[in-house]
Amino acid sequence: MVAFAGALACAPRLAAAQGRVPHIAYFWLGSAGSDGEILGGLRSGLRDLGYQEGRNLVIDRYYADGDPARLAALAAAAVAGHPDVFVTEGGIATASVAKLTKTIPIVSVNGDPVGLGFAASLAHPGGNITGLSVQVSYGLAGKWIELIREMIPNARHVAVLAGGAPRSYAIGEITEMRAAAQHRGAGITFEQYSIRDAADLPSTFASMLRAKPDALVVDDTPLLYSIAPRIFALADGLPTICGGPEFAEAGGLMSYGASIFDIHVRAASYVDRILKGAKPGDLPIELPDKFELVLNLKTAKALGLTVPPLLLAQADKVIE
């Protein structure tokens, strides 16, 4: 459940020698190892700001292993540890912590902090929650449609897999994709499939594959991030486009979305300001400003697809 045991063990000694060591509780719906871009960005940003685990920083990591039902107990354990600040990923994880504390600062990366009730506004969050919003992903719908048309010109029926996100957010994304497809005259229809947890995957994919879609869009919610390898194992050769790069690395055909690494580098600056006395309610919530296209050529080859040269030239990362 909790990692960085070495750092925790030396914390009392460090605290006695240097005063209380800053203590971060990192809260993630997925499992250890499924959060490379997220934790990597956060740790990189903290290092750039002068924090070094085991010297002047303690990080407790709490993982739900893809099971939303575990979040409440994990949140209770984390709050009981009295961290100086939480770092949470996604609306479900953030809500689990927010229910239990109105005083411990929370730096959250999620889809719609205002719509979810975490913040009064992006400019003036109020309360104890701030961070970054990826609500701009609604605007990525047009780019996803463009990529589907370039890679799979004959695509006419696209499945959309959502999970762990508020219903209104998932509806917003698929509505934008339909509008983008209509605007571009793509002639594409969409069918949404939703899961509550990993146990729903087999039946959901059985239903999806019976409909014979030409492509699959995987929403980049924390739940789906945490079970990406299982998703692509069940996709049975279905070309996929996703929002996050780790989806492509797990076997998806391509991804386009906000740079998860960059967002969490920026999240580190919120942690730093809060540790130095800033109130989270006074720190404006920011939007992503860096986006990445990742292509998985191994998957393209396995699917018998040829990546257009222009698309290949546009890629920020190519997996071979």
pLDDT at 68: 86
Is CATH 3.40.50.620 the classification given to domain 137-259+292-319?
A: no
User: What CATH number is given for 5-135+260-289 in this structure?
Assistant: 3.40.50.2300
Sheet holding 215-218, edge to edge: 189-195, 157-163, 215-218, 240-242, 254-258, 291-296, 317-319
Q: Among 53-57, 109-113, 181-185, 240-244, which stretch is predicted with the lowest mean pLDDT?
A: 181-185
pLDDT at 169: 56
Residues of the chain with CATH 3.40.50.2300: 5-135+260-289, 137-259+292-319
130-154 pLDDT tens trace:
999 876 555 677 788 889 889 999 9
78 or 112, which is more confident: 78
Residue 31, pLDDT > 90, answer: no
191-215 pLDDT tens trace:
889 888 888 999 999 999 999 999 9
Q: Which of 210, 72, 240 is nearest to 148 (CA)?
A: 240
209-218 pLDDT tens trace:
999 999 999 8
**Is the separation of the CB atoms in 91 and 116 below 8 Å?**
yes
Residue 313, pLDDT > 60, answer: yes
Q: Which of 124, 107, 139, 140 is nearest to 41 (CA)?
A: 107
Percent above pLDDT 70 for the chain? 88
pTM over 0.85: no
pLDDT at 36: 84
- pLDDT confidence bin for 6, thresholds 50/70/90: very low
**Is the separation of the CB atoms in 229 and 251 below 8 Å?**
yes
Residue 7, pLDDT > 80, answer: no
Residue 162 backbone phi and psi in degrees, to 5: -120, 155
The identity of residue 294, as a single letter, is V
Q: Which of 244, 221, 220 is nearest to 164 (CA)?
A: 221
As a whole number, the mean pLDDT across the chain is 86
Please give the distance of CA 271 from its chain centroid, rounded to a whole number.
18
Element (H, E) at 203: helix 201-210
**Is the separation of the CB atoms in 29 and 249 below 8 Å?**
no
Q: Which residues of 131-165 are buried (b: 16+ CB within 10 A; e: fewer)?
A: bbbbbebbebbbebbebbbebbeebeebbbbbbbb
- DSSP-derived secondary structure letter, 211: T
